[in-house]
Amino acid sequence: MANILIVEARFYEHLNDLLLEGARAAIEAAGHTHETITVPGALEVPGAIALAADAYDAFVAIGVVIRGETYHFEIVAGESARALMAMTLDGLAIGNGILTTENEAQALTRARRTEKDKGGEAAKAAIAMLELQKRFS
- By annotation, the residues acting in catalysis are 72
Q: Nearest-CA neighbor of 39 among 9, 79, 2? A: 9
Query: How many whole angstroms separate alpha carbon 16 and alpha carbon 122?
Result: 13
CA angle 60, 127, 81 (to 5 degrees): 40
Q: Which helix (H) or strand (E) holds 98?
A: strand 94-101
Residue 111 to residue 119: CA distance in whole angstroms:
6
